[in-house]
A and B are shown apart, each in its own frame.
Chain A
Amino acid sequence: GAVVSQHPSRVICKSGTSVKIECRSLDFQATTMFWYRQFPKKSLMLMATSNEGSKATYEQGVEKDKFLINHASLTLSTLTVTSAHPEDSSFYICSARDVVRSSNYGYTFGSGTRLTVV
């Protein structure tokens, strides 16, 4: 089946530094990837939709300069949290759309990244 590898699973960084999170589709081409953030006991909140070779589409209220998304290849999308602050501490997770499978099998998720900014 389709697999998405997300790294790192956990990261602790100092306030003011930047952190990069990677999502790779291992056995399919993901023309579209989605980035979510989850607050405690809340829904997965969609942050942005990333399409290979084009600029990401951000949801309302998400700062594009704070959360940089790059989707330079059909198998890799990255989310960079720039100048991180404690309020950016959260759980971030990606999902990828396999055009061939998604209509019947849904989207494939990474395992998530727990970011703690100290």
Chain B
Amino acid sequence: ILNVEQSPQSLHVQEGDSTNFTCSFPSSNFYALHWYRWETAKSPEALFVMTLNGDEKKKGRISATLNTKEGYSYLYIKGSQPEDSATYLCASSTGGYNKLIFGAGTRLAVHP
């Protein structure tokens, strides 16, 4: 994989549903994987930074896992709420000023 890829591109769920998205990234020269939450008209907000294979991080109802050997990360949202509606971006860095290469994002809409 040469680019960072995210799936699905968009997702519509009902309030209370749990959901997950995927981020695939180049596994060679991997340094860190970032997840951001981006609401319309706001700045992207950092959710997690993960570096080690097998890392799992949690923030409230949101959690993420990392597999650096196969080059993927999952983001999970448990019991989705309308306020979770946003675009979720992942980004991979390979060192060298730690510049981030972003995926196109997953747009989540949670319906009441």
Q: Which residues of A contact B (CB under 8 A)?
A: 4, 32, 34, 36, 41-46, 49, 51, 57, 93, 95, 97, 102-112
A111 to B45, CA, bound (A): 10
Q: Is B46 in contact with A112, judged by CB distance below 8 angstroms?
A: no
A46 CB contact (under 8 Å) in B46, B49, B99, B104: B99
Q: Is A107 in contact with B104, judged by CB distance below 8 angstroms?
A: no
Residue from B47, B97, B105 with most neighbouring chain A CB atoms (10 Å): B97
Q: Is A109 in contact with B89, judged by CB distance below 8 angstroms?
A: no
Residue from B4, B43, B105 with most neighbouring chain A CB atoms (10 Å): B43
Measured as residues with beta carbon below 8 angstroms from the partner, the interface class of chain B is 20 to 34
Which chain B residues lie closer than 8 Å to A51 at the CB level? 97
B89 CB contact (under 8 Å) in A44, A45, A57, A97: A44
A107 to B36, CA, bound (A): 9
Please report whether the interface of chain B is mostly helix, strand, loop or mixed according to DSSP: strand
Q: Which residues of B contact A (CB under 8 A)?
A: 4, 32, 34, 36, 41-49, 89, 91, 97-105
B49 CB contact (under 8 Å) in A57, A95, A106: A106
With A104-B49, A108-B46, A109-B44 known as contacts, the answer to whether A43 contacts B102 (CB < 8 A) is yes
Q: Is A107 in contact with B46, judged by CB distance below 8 angstroms?
A: yes
A95 to B91, CA, bound (A): 13
6 nearest interchain CB pairs?
A106-B46, A44-B102, A109-B43, A109-B44, A43-B104, A43-B102
Residue from A36, A44, A110 with most neighbouring chain B CB atoms (10 Å): A44
Question: How near does chain A come to B43, taking the closest CB pair, in angstroms?
Answer: 4
Which chain B residues lie closer than 8 Å to A108 at the CB level? 43, 46
Which chain A residues lie closer than 8 Å to B46 at the CB level? 105-108
Q: Is B43 in contact with A49, judged by CB distance below 8 angstroms?
A: no
With A102-B49, A107-B34 known as contacts, the answer to whether A34 contacts B100 (CB < 8 A) is yes
With A43-B105, A44-B89 known as contacts, the answer to whether A102 contacts B98 (CB < 8 A) is yes
With A32-B97, A34-B99, A111-B43 known as contacts, the answer to whether A41 contacts B36 (CB < 8 A) is no
Which chain B residues lie closer than 8 Å to A49 at the CB level? 97, 99
A49 to B34, CA, bound (A): 18
